[in-house]
Amino acid sequence: MEQKLVALSGNEAVAYAFKQARPHVAAAFPITPQTEMMHKYADFVANGESSTEMILVESEHSAMSAAIGSAAAGARTFTATSSAGFALMWEVVYIAASLRLPICMAMVNRALSGNINIHCDHSDSMGGRDAGWIHLFSENAQESYDNAVMSWRIAEHMDVRLPVMVNYDGFIISHTADALYMLPDDVAWKFIGKYKPAYTLLNPEKPITVGPLDLTDYYFEHKTSQLAAYDKAPAIIQQVSDEFADLTGRRYGFAEEYRLDDADMVMVLLGSSAGTCKDVIDQYREKGVKVGLLKLRTFRPFPAAYLAKVLSGRKAVCVLDRSASFGGQGGPLFMETRSAMYGLQVPVHGYIYGLGGRDFDLKQAATVIENLQKVAAGGELKDINLLGVRL
């Protein structure tokens, strides 16, 4: 199947992917670095390339509220945000998941204030890691496009019916032109398929109540239903990834395993920094150092059993977090990974890096590998380390 090679920014790539799903409604409010994505989508609508109803609201809270109303009415719906915009959505982000509405959202990762910072880290999406959404992370524009295409199939599957957040790094991916392969519109549409809502507010033959008072009588049972959907999501994520691989040749699953077959030491991370790590890993491989990378694509639901299997038997593991969990035992990814590794007897340490868009360069990646070698040889390192900060 022929795919078109194009040069697009991450924002443009995701806009195209969402257009190919033929959504009924898009709820939009601008915030850097997400704004360009919705601008591009608005161009599609203005030029007659898309029949999506654009709802231009006055805040991100209203954008998610409009998306919830639209999805509850049976419309395929998406939105997008970053940073403080996501924080302003907070109340209704939880409601979207609780109502089991398959909304797809582009999360263009940006640091949360304060102080005001428009550059990339993962503090926005990590702040919502327990809101009940599925989180997919991307390394580049190609993965952002692919994740956006697959997000509909995952969210709308009847065994899941949960909202999906497509994460990609602000400016590093969102505003950088990159080469990627796009599916023809008809092929993408055939893969995604027509939306078949589980229920709709606009069906008088089967009236429903959405968002009622839910106290001690049934609240617990409804949350249990969400947990059950999360339990089913990994199998559907894998199934959709396999079908996408058959279609495109690009295989994802829960993570990318880079040079892990014989690796004694493993770096674990999310997002665009994987590209830098791959380059440095290649350099160390030429020196005979057996190091590899596990780049997670799925952060929620967290693939704990998969990680335990992949990381078992290694001599040392390090986890790189582009966000901090203040008062916690390390960054969010570190805490999840160490919990998944419980009982493996593999030393694991973590790094906080790249906050507020601080550059993650080859030298920092090399420092991580040098420290991995020390730990693998029996040396000690603090559980949590700061990387690239001026002390």
Tell me the pLDDT tens digit for each residue of 29-70. 999 999 999 999 999 999 999 999 999 999 999 999 999 999
Predicted confidence (pLDDT) at residue 113 exceeds the cutoff of 90: yes
Predicted confidence (pLDDT) at residue 1 exceeds the cutoff of 90: no
Over residues 209-236, mean pLDDT: 96
At 257, is the pLDDT very low, low, confident or very high (cuts 50, 70, 90)?
very high
pTM: 0.97
How many CB atoms are closer than 10 A to CB 286? 8
Q: Which residue ranges does the chain devote to CATH 3.40.50.920?
A: 255-387
Q: What is the signed CA dihedral for 12, 70, 52, 252, rounded to 10 degrees?
A: 40
Order across the sheet with 384-387: list the strands: 255-258, 291-296, 265-269, 316-321, 348-353, 384-387
Rounded percentage of the chain residues whose pLDDT exceeds 70: 100
Q: Which residue ranges does the chain devote to CATH 3.40.50.970?
A: 4-248
The whole-number pLDDT of residue 391 equals: 80
Nearest CA to 372 out of 350, 390, 353, 387 is that of 350
Distance, CA of 176 to CA of 18 (rounded, Å): 19
In this predicted model, what pLDDT tens digit does every residue of 115-129 receive, in sequence order? 999 999 999 999 999
Distance, CA of 119 to CA of 82 (rounded, Å): 10
The whole-number pLDDT of residue 202 equals: 85
Q: Cα dihedral sign for 279, 5, 185, 242?
A: negative
The whole-chain average pLDDT of the chain stands at 98
**Which tokens hold the place of 61?**
């809270």
Class assignment of domain 4-248?
Answer: alpha beta
CA distance readout (Å), 189 to 152, 185, 243, 304: 11, 6, 14, 32
The whole-number pLDDT of residue 86 equals: 99
The arrangement of secondary structure in 255-387, i.e. its CATH architecture, is: 3-Layer(aba) Sandwich (3.40)
Nearest CA to 256 out of 339, 146, 383 is that of 146
**Which tokens hold the place of 12?**
């443009």
Over residues 164-190, mean pLDDT: 99
Tokens 């360009």, located at residue: 36
